[in-house]
Amino acid sequence: MAGLIKEERIAKFILKWRLLGIFLPIFLSIVSLFLIRDIKIETRQIDFIPSKHRFISVQNTLNQLFGGLNRVNIAIEAQQGDILQPAVLKEVQQIAEEIQLLDEVNPRRVHSLFAQNVKHIEIWPDGFSVTKLLREIPQTPQELASLRKKIEHNPLVYGPLVSKDFKATLIQADFKEDIPAHQIYAKVKEIVSRYQGADVNIYLSGRPILEGYIDANLSFIFHIFAVTLVIILSLLFLAFRKKRGFLLPLLAGSMSVVFSLAIINVFHLTLNPFTILIPFLIFILAISHSIQFMERYFEESHLKTDKTHIAHTVLVSLLSPIRASIFTDFLGFFSLILIPIPAMKSIAVLGSLGVLSLFISVVMFLPACFATFPVPYFKKQNNSHLSLTAFILKRFMWLWQRKWRMYLMLTLFVTLFLTAIYGIKHIEIGENEPGTSTLYRDAPYNVAERKINKYFEGSNPYYLLIKGKGPESLLKSEAIQEIDELNRFLRHNLKEVGYSLSVADYIKLMNLAIQHQFEVPKKDSTIGEYIFLYESNAFPGEFDAFITPDHQFANIRFDLKDCQGTTIQRVVSLTKQWIKNYHRSHLLSFDYAGGLIGILGATNEIIKKSLFTNIAVLSLLIFLRITLALRSFTGGLILFIPLAFSIALTFGSFGLFNIPFTVATLPVAAMGTGLGIDYSIYLASRIKEEKEKGVNLITAINRAVFTCGKAVFFTGSILTIGIWSWVWSNLKLQAKLGGTLGFLLFINMLSALIILPIFILLLKPNFLMKPMDK
C-alpha cells in the first residue's frame, strides 16, 4: 500500500497546483524556443567514429605527418571513344587545376594525369630525365599515340589512374581534415558541374562526398515528418472524436519536441542523420503516453461528473505504470552512452533527457488540464470508432479461452524464437556489398562507387603507417624491401586490393627505367640516389605525401574494391599475420589501420563489442526495475518475455535475411528494448487493477485487454506508423533505422497483447495479488 499512498500524494500535489502544471510547461516551451534558433544541421565524420580506438590514433598520426587524408575521387568517363582526345584531356586538366587551387585541398595529395608527382622516366645513352608525365595536351595523332605508350609502360598510372580500356581517368584529391564535408561537397560539385556535358560523364565518391550528399538531402525527412503528423492527428481525432482528444496530445508532443531541440543547443550537439530523428521520436512517445491518459480520461468521464475526481482517478491509476515506462524509456536511450561513438552519445543525452521531459509535458500537464477544463459531454457511448480495434482484440482474447489454443501459440512462439536465435548467430557486422548502405543502391554516390570500381582498382583507401627507428632509416634497402614485401603480400592474398602506392613503388619504377628490373635495389647507396633524383626533380614537398623529409616516417596506401565488413576483417587480419610472421627488420615498424578502411574497421569492432553487451546490461537493468516494482521475480520475468521475444525476432531477421548490422542500426537494440516494455507495463498494471476488484484472473485479463488493450493497440499503431514513416526517407540509413525499430515496436505490441496474457494465465504470478510499489 505504500506505493499507492505515494501516488495519492503526488496526484494531490499536481492537482492542487494545477495552474502551475499548465503554465510551467508552456513557459518552459517559450524559453526553449529562444534556445533553438541557432541549431545546425551537419554530418561530420567525427560523430560516427570511435575517437579513442587504436585505428583512429593511427589515422590521426597519419594526418599530422602527411596532411589530411579526406579523399575525394573524381572519375571522368569519355562518352564517345576514349579519354585520349584533346577536348577530353583539356577538361581533365581544367578540373584537376581547379581542384588543386582550392584552399580546402591538401595540394601535396592531388593525384591525376596532370599532377606534379606523376612522373615519366626517360633513359638516353648519355643520361636520363624524370619529368611530369603530361606537361602539355597532345594534339596530333602521333603525340596521342606517344602518350598512350607512356601510360601503358607506367604501372603507377596504367590501371590506377587510367582505366585499362582508356575509357576513363581518375583524379584523387585529399582534403584537410578540419574542413566540413558539406563545404568540400559544395566546392567539388560546383567545379565538376561546369564540365559535365556532351563529352564526359563525371562520377564522385569519397567520404566528404558521401557526407555532403547526406547533408544536402537531410531536409527531406522534414516533409515525411509533416505528412506523418497529419496522419497521426487524423487518427487521434477519429479515435476520440473530441477536439481535446487530439489537441492535448498535440500540445504535449509539441512541448516535448521543443524541449528536445533546446537540449541540442544547451549541450552543443548538432543535428545529423541520427539525432534529427530523436525529437520526432520523443514527439511520438509523448503522443503514445498521452493516448493512455486520454483513453482513461474519457472512460472515467462516462462514469463521473466531478472533473477533479476524474483527473485524480486517472493520475493515480496511471502514475505507477507511466513512471516505470518513462524510466525504462530513459534507460533505453541512456544505455547508448556506453558506446564510444559520439553520435551514440548524442542520442543518449538527447533521448534520455527528452524522455524525462515527459514528466512535465505529459504527467504534469495533462492531469492539470483534466482538472481545469469542463468534463466532456457525450451524446452516447463513444466506441463506434473502436469497432475494428475491438474486433481485433476479441480475436486475441479467443486465443486464451482454451488451453490447447494457448499451447499452440506457445509452440509457435518457441519455434519463432529458436529460428530467431539461429538468425542472430549469422548476423554480419559492417557493409555486405560495395558502396555504402547509408544510401540506396541507385543513389548517385553508389552509382559512382560501382563505376570507379569497374574502371579502376578500388576507391576505398587503407593506410599503413611506417615508423623508422630514426632519421634516414627508411633510406636503407632492408627497410624498403620490407615495405615492398608487405605490399606484395596483401596484393597477392586479398583479391579486393586493387592498387597500392608507397615509396617502394617509386624506387622500383626508377630501377625499372635504369636497371630494367622492377624490384628494390640491394644497395643502400642506390636507394639514396633514387630518392635524391626524385626529390631534386620535384617541387618542394611533392613527395611529402609518401615519406617525410627526414625519411623517418612513410605510409603505404592500398585502394580496396569495397569496404564490406568481411573485406575489412581479412585485410586487417592479413596485415597482422604478415607483421607477426615476416616482419624482421629492426629499422622500422608498422602500425595499422588508417584511411576509410581503418575508420570503418574501428567502428565495426565497437559495434561487435557493444551490441550484445549493451542489450544484456540494459535488459538486466529493466528486468530488475520491473521485478522491484512488482516485488515478484516471476512477474518481472513474465513482463520481460514478450520483450525478449521481440528483440530476438528483430535481430534474428538481420541474419536470416542477410541484412548487415551497421552503425545505422546500432540504436535499435537500446531504443527498442527501452520503449518496447511500455505496453506490457501498462497492461499488467490494468490487469492487477481489475483483479483487485475481486474478479477471476481470466475476467481481469479480458477487461484489461478490452480497455487498456485498446489504448495499447492504438498507441502501438501510432508509434509504429510514426517510426515506419522513416522508410520513405531518401537516406537508407534513416529508412533502415525506421524499418527495424518500427518492426520491433510493432512485434512488442502484439507480444504484449497475446503472449503476456497467455503466460499470466499459465503461471498465475503472485504479483497480481500484491500492490505495485516504487
- 336 contacts 351 by C-beta, under 8 angstroms: yes
Confidence (pLDDT) at 490 = 92
223 with 356, same domain? yes
- 430 contacts 600 by C-beta, under 8 angstroms: yes
17 with 105, same domain? no
The C-alpha cell at 160 is: 590506377
Determine the average pLDDT of the residues in 15-22: 90
- Of 385, 370, 400, 222, nearest in space to 301 by CA: 370
- Of 257, 320, 316, 250, nearest in space to 288 by CA: 250
**In-domain check, residue 451:** no
Residue 307, pLDDT above cutoff 50 = yes
Where among 600, 616, 651 does a domain terminate?
600
The C-alpha cell at 468 is: 623508422
**In-domain check, residue 56:** no
Helix (H) or strand (E) run with residue 699 in it? helix 697-724
255 with 146, same domain? no
Give the number of domains in the chain: 3
Q: How many helices (H) and strands (E) in the chain?
A: 27, 10
Residue 1, pLDDT above cutoff 60 = no
- Of the spans 104-108, 443-447, 513-517, 678-682, which averages the highest pLDDT? 443-447
Helix (H/G/I), strand (E/B), else coil: 106 = strand
Where among 158, 190, 216 does a domain terminate?
216
Determine the average pLDDT of the residues in 285-293: 88
Percent of the chain past pLDDT 90, that is, above it, reads 13
**In-domain check, residue 693:** yes
Confidence (pLDDT) at 774 = 44
Global confidence as pTM: 0.80
Spatial neighbors of 81 by CB under 8 A, at least 6 apart, are none
273 with 418, same domain? yes
The Cα 565–Cα 429 span in angstroms is 6
102 with 186, same domain? yes
Residue 135, pLDDT above cutoff 90 = no
Determine the average pLDDT of the residues in 165-175: 89
669 with 737, same domain? yes
Confidence (pLDDT) at 127 = 59
Query: For residue 676, is it left (φ>0), alpha (ψ between -120 and 50) or beta?
Result: alpha
The Cα 293–Cα 414 span in angstroms is 34
Spatial neighbors of 119 by CB under 8 A, at least 6 apart, are 130, 131, 132, 133, 506, 509, 534, 537
pLDDT in tens, 208-227: 888 888 888 887 888 888 88
Full domain range(s) for residue 28: 2-35+218-425+631-769
- Beta strands per DSSP E along 49-183: 70-78, 105-111, 119-124, 127-132, 168-175
**In-domain check, residue 93:** yes
**In-domain check, residue 415:** yes
Q: Say how many CA atoms lie within 13 Å of 666 toward its Cβ.
A: 32
Q: What is the dihedral of CA 445, 447, 452, 453, to 10 degrees?
A: 110
Alpha carbon distances (Å) from 66 to 557, 599, 679: 12, 17, 55
Helix axes 181-193, 207-217, angle to 10 degrees: 90
- 463 contacts 469 by C-beta, under 8 angstroms: no
The Cα 11–Cα 6 span in angstroms is 9
The Cα 273–Cα 737 span in angstroms is 10
The Cα 21–Cα 368 span in angstroms is 6
The Cα 150–Cα 133 span in angstroms is 8
Confidence (pLDDT) at 455 = 87
Confidence (pLDDT) at 380 = 56
81 with 158, same domain? yes
Helix (H) or strand (E) run with residue 592 in it? strand 588-594
Render 613-657 in DSSP notation, one character per residue.
Answer: HHHHHHHHHHHHHHHHHHT-HHHHHHHHHHHHHHHHHHHHHHHHT
Confidence (pLDDT) at 132 = 75
Render 421-486 in DSSP notation, one character per residue.
Answer: HHHHTTPPBSB-SSS-TTS-TTSHHHHHHHHHHHHSS--EEEEEEEEESSTTGGGSHHHHHHHHHH
Q: Which residue has the higher pLDDT, 32 or 5?
A: 32
Confidence (pLDDT) at 4 = 58
211 with 244, same domain? no
Determine the average pLDDT of the residues in 384-390: 63
- Taken in order 307, 310, 312, 314, the sign of the CA dihedral is negative
301 with 172, same domain? no
The Cα 119–Cα 136 span in angstroms is 14
- Of 141, 130, 87, 94, nearest in space to 113 by CA: 94
Confidence (pLDDT) at 572 = 93
Alpha carbon distances (Å) from 80 to 87, 96, 114: 11, 21, 22
- Taken in order 474, 477, 482, 483, the sign of the CA dihedral is positive
- The DSSP symbol for 120 reads E
323 with 374, same domain? yes
Mean pLDDT rounded to a whole number for the chain = 83
**In-domain check, residue 444:** no
* Residue with cell string 602500425: 591
**In-domain check, residue 437:** no
Helix (H/G/I), strand (E/B), else coil: 271 = strand
Determine the average pLDDT of the residues in 513-531: 84
Residue 150, pLDDT above cutoff 80 = yes
Determine the average pLDDT of the residues in 400-411: 86
Percent of the chain past pLDDT 70, that is, above it, reads 93
Where among 600, 617, 644 does a domain terminate?
600
681 with 539, same domain? no
The Cα 749–Cα 755 span in angstroms is 10
Confidence (pLDDT) at 242 = 81
**In-domain check, residue 651:** yes
252 with 397, same domain? yes
- Of 214, 179, 173, 211, nearest in space to 192 by CA: 173
Q: Is the peptide bond before 602 cis (omega within 30 degrees of 0)?
A: no
Render 708-752 in DSSP notation, one character per residue.
Answer: HHHHHHHHHHHHHHHHHGGGGSSSHHHHHHHHHHHHHHHHHHHHH
